[in-house]
Amino acid sequence: MTVREVIGLDDHRLSRRAKKVESFDDDLKDLVNDLVDTMRISPGCVGLAANQIGDERSVFVIDVANARRLKTYSGLIVAVNPTILDLNGLLELREGCMSVPDFTGAVPRYQTLTLRASNEVGEEFVVATDGFEAQAIQHECDHLLGFTFLDRIAAPSKMFSRKRYLQ
């Protein structure tokens, strides 16, 4: 088990666009294991992108099993070189981030999506999902594009201190 440090907004690597994975090797499997271990040990975390632990590859993991707002659940998703194919039903949803631990905010996100990606051994898959799982996928895809939820907040008045939100 390797738990990695999650970088914050002050680290320039968080704002870089991820690089396409070319090699589906043991090093990639190690990265995926580190992402899963780090996500699972972090309270409230349902997803983590590689650049959040300082890696430049286009990889994220999500597992929304313990989320309250669950509609669809696809299990642990390991997405390498992900592409969102279809989006429908825009809503404004509240979210937070491991890299921005002190704030949450209302972000426009789509209710449903279709994702195409490869897993850690290079097998391509497509998943159609909705609800919180779709929101988490959009959040992690944004990370791989170099964005955080703060870049997507609907308006400054829609950003909240996490302390206030948790009270």
| Among candidate residues 37, 79, 31, the one with its CA nearest the CA of residue 55 | 31
Options 95, 120, 133, 140, the catalytic residue: 140
* Tokens 């002190």, residue located: 102
Alpha helices in the chain (DSSP H): 26-41, 131-144, 162-166
Start-to-end CA distance of the chain, whole Å, equals: 33
CA distance 144 to 50: 8
Name the DSSP class of 19. Answer: B
Active site residue 140: yes
Give the CA distances from residue 1 to residues 30, 35, 36, 65, in Å, rounded to whole numbers and listed in that order: 10, 10, 9, 20
Instruction: Give catalytic residue positions.
Output: 140
